[in-house]
Structure 1
Amino acid sequence: MPATLIAPRTTPDSPDAVSPVSVGELSIVERMVALYASDMPNRYRFGKGDDAQLGSWIVQGVARLGLEEVYRSAAYAQSYRLLSLANLTTADQTRAHSARFTNLRRLDRAESVAGISSIGPDSVPVSASAVARSRRPMVEGGCPCGGTGWMELQVLDGEALSRSCPAHNPTGNLVNRRVAVTG
């Protein structure tokens, strides 16, 4: 990540030191971003008893980037992933994602390892606030829906159907419109 190269490393005694974060207060994607920024080896494979090391790398990554940057990068990564799975990413989004995560193999490894942190006997469950935060869409560059949550699809004879945006409206919920009824 570019931020790992330019962000000053803090020591526990420095005035800029970040207070430790609880791994359970981070979503899986936030854990992925933190691991990506940490000293975790690129070819790391999780082994039995590695839970403490994994937790320390996550905390280290948060300390390097800062909690707000972890949240922001995770929101961008999550929205990019959803758009990518639907084959809806734009060139601008791909450029921004590639600039943010320059080593895609490391990102894949960080994602796999982050997922491991929430399963198994020594797992660290994700808090409700982290789950809620993980549903916050953020898209770098223009989104095909324009931020509305819906994309128009042209079909036969000029009739249009709408498709929900996987980043801004992944559940496909309709906008809550209040209708006045007169009688």
Structure 2
Amino acid sequence: MINGKHTLWDLAAKMQQNVLAVTNSLRPFINKGIAEFIEVSDVELSIIKVRQKAEVKSGKKNNYYLIACIDDSLQMSKILEKMVTSEGMMFISIQDPLQALPILIESKPDLIFLDLIMPVVNGYQICEQLRHISFFTKTPIIILTSSDGVFDRVRAKVFGATDFINKPVEKERLMGILDKYLQRNETQPPQNLAWSY
């Protein structure tokens, strides 16, 4: 995998390891001149819509909450989007888990729904990385799971999850989660409530 075509993040995701651990494991190869790091430019992300929305939302002037969903299933994202936007909240759908962190850092959602099982990067890894970012230490992270196993719940809590919701998601349960973690006021829905990535 060390062929000059992968970033440290790519390697960490494929090896299901922490980026720091992967970087440290490469140190002996770097010291012996077997491998070297090269600087690559950042990948451009299309987050213009999020920026525009964030300006409208800044300071919670309109009491509009922003809910993010990281799930590789477009169907699941659409179901959540319909439920969330019908309550006058804004919604960001992120299907590519590798783009999740930059988009979340830019948009700063009030609550995050996170699928556990995704390709390349799993929900545990994303949850752990979010908890290491100061802005997200207190942001509610709700795990979306089709498994009701105790092991998954305990493991997700260890990685920093706040709560769980089972798939298929029922609107009553979803609203209970939103009410529990957000102080919502009844407001008129704004324009352009949903964004997809």
Query: TM-score under structure 2 normalisation?
Result: 0.25
Greater relative CO (CA pairs within 8 A, separation 6+): 1
Q: Which has the higher strand share?
A: 2
Select the structure of larger CA radius of gyration. 1
